[in-house]
Structure 1
Amino acid sequence: MIATLVVAAFAAGWIDAVVGGGGLLLLPALLVVAPQLHPATALGTNKLAAICGTSAAAVTYARKTKIDWSVAGPSAALALLCAGCGALLAGGIPASAYRPVIIGVLILVAIFVTVRPQMGLIEEPHKRTTIRRTAAIATAGAVIAAYDGLIGPGTGTFLVLAFTTLIGADFVHGSAMAKIVNTATNLGALIVFAATDHVAWKLGAGMAVANVAGALLGARMALSRGAGFVRVVLLIVVLALIARLGWLHWQDS
């Protein structure tokens, strides 16, 4: 069980560092491989591993690329609060209520990225108006952060897309800012899960080591291979999210 979860944590760390969406792999792995865990405990343990990986990736990106702190900073501060609020509601909303909406949004994202092959390949600084910056902060720090605390998988992907479409960041710089905000969302949710005794600390610590290793490798690959590489991984992760959520919704219906 531990070996399987460590491998899953490494792979999830790599995916998260490149484009987000590592929870798509790690959370189901926890629920399947360790069925004795309460669902909320699985969410909390996932957050413990994820915060270590996202923070390691954030440091790597910050050292190698320029981060727009005027957007990333306020987004992260707001995300810390909103993710905690989302975590307080975890389990209170049935999956059937949100899955169709998320699947629809992801399908639109996949189409949008496909029909606009140049999106995210170069920075578009002219988009960074006050209105767009405010929209990016609100979207990333409030809406997406609350989703992360409540549900989780795909958060990093949504963050990258928010920064790419709203303020014209390329995929590499969008991923860099996403890691800053994702670290804050993970921390906000983890505080709540820890306070309610929903974290398997020993298991989470072992997974965290593997998650950090995967995150460091993923961040370095994204930085060295550029926006084109991140775009391909983004499409793969979005399609995987659609397939996974679609399958879960079909099983529940």
Structure 2
Amino acid sequence: MEPEIWGLLMLVAAAAGWVDAVVGGGGLLLLPALLVAVPSAPLATLLGTNKLGAVVGTASAAVAYARRVELDRGVVWPTAGLALVGAGTGAALAGALTADVLKPVIMVVLAGVALVVHLRPGMGAVADLRSRTRVRVVAAVLLAGAGVSFYDGLIGPGTGVFLVMAFTAVLGMDFVSASASAKVVNVCTNLGALAVFALGGHVDWLLGAVLAGCSVVGAQVGARMALARGSGFVRVVLLVVVCALLARMGWDVFGG
């Protein structure tokens, strides 16, 4: 690649790390950039390389959050363990299933997310654990650890958004705590998918390492901004990312 292409990808990786650290959805930026920058590379290789950059940046953000936010270990660790398997399964099936079939379904889910966040401005502003039951905890673990993680391995962009929504809507976490929990789970979804892609030889390690370094810089800035500005800031970024995901998928389905 030409030096200017390298530079552009590094800037996009930093921006993706910032978005991932705040609420998730960095793949919305980095994966399309890789598709444009390296059009001759197999899709699986671009997905694997994207996962390498994402897992390092997300892990960096998870550490930053863990220093300031107390994680609900009874929810986070079971979800993270299940996420390794769910994402690995999705990645293994990435070549066998067509993402185009799932995109309209994902668009409906994203539209529902946007409506819920918009119509319930108080959701996620502060923690509300009064309605949390054992059934809700199990449902959240299964939804995030199996369903969302499978989606991450299969397609990817927007995984952090779905994890945050699972923790806020189902368990009553505030947005900052939900984002912190989502980072830990997202590390495991990225690791599970990355392992499958790596075993198949679908990772450009040099490019992925460079993108990972840039992603860490963006992730550190994003995590600190989210912690400093609170749940209201995370909510706004969440709405922006959801709308951007809807626009991107809408273009793929109807205009691409």
Range class of TM-score, shorter chain? over 0.9
Q: Deviations over 1:187-212 (max 9, x none)?
A: 00000000000000000000000001
Matched, 1:200 2:191: no
- Residue 183 of structure 1 corresponds to 187
- Residue 106 of structure 2 corresponds to 102
Kindly state the Cα deviation for residue 127 of structure 1 after the two structures are TM-superposed: 2.7
Q: CA RMSD in A?
A: 0.8
Q: Deviations over 1:89-140 (max 9, x none)?
A: 0132223210110001111111111111111101011132111110110001
Kindly state the Cα deviation for residue 251 of structure 1 after the two structures are TM-superposed: 3.5
Q: Deviations over 1:120-169 (max 9, x none)?
A: 10101113211111011000100000000000000001000000001000
Q: 2:62 aligns with which of 42, 58, 64?
A: 58
Matched, 1:83 2:91: no
User: Aligned partners of 1:144 and 1:67: how far apart in 2?
Assistant: 19
Matched, 1:250 2:239: no
- Residue 23 of structure 2 corresponds to 19
Q: 2:126 aligns with which of 122, 126, 132?
A: 122
- Residue 216 of structure 1 corresponds to 220
Kindly state the Cα deviation for residue 34 of structure 1 after the two structures are TM-superposed: 1.2
- CA contact 2:99–2:154 (8 Å) conserved in 1: no
- Residue 232 of structure 1 corresponds to 236
Secondary structure of 2:113's aligned partner = helix
Structure 1 counterpart of 2:125, one-letter code = L
Secondary structure of 1:207's aligned partner = helix
Secondary structure of 1:72's aligned partner = helix
Q: 1:160 aligns with which of 146, 160, 164?
A: 164
User: Aligned partners of 1:186 and 1:13: how far apart in 2?
Assistant: 13
Q: Deviations over 1:59-87 (max 9, x none)?
A: 11000111101000000000001100100
Secondary structure of 2:67's aligned partner = helix
Runs of 4+ in 1 over 4 A off after TM superposition: none
Q: TM-score, normalised by structure 1?
A: 0.98
Gaps of 5+ in 2: none
User: Aligned partners of 1:27 and 1:96: how far apart in 2?
Assistant: 16
Structure 1 counterpart of 2:147, one-letter code = V
Q: Size of the alignment, in residue pairs? A: 252
Q: TM-score, normalised by structure 2?
A: 0.97
Identity across matched positions, percent:
58
Matched, 1:2 2:18: no
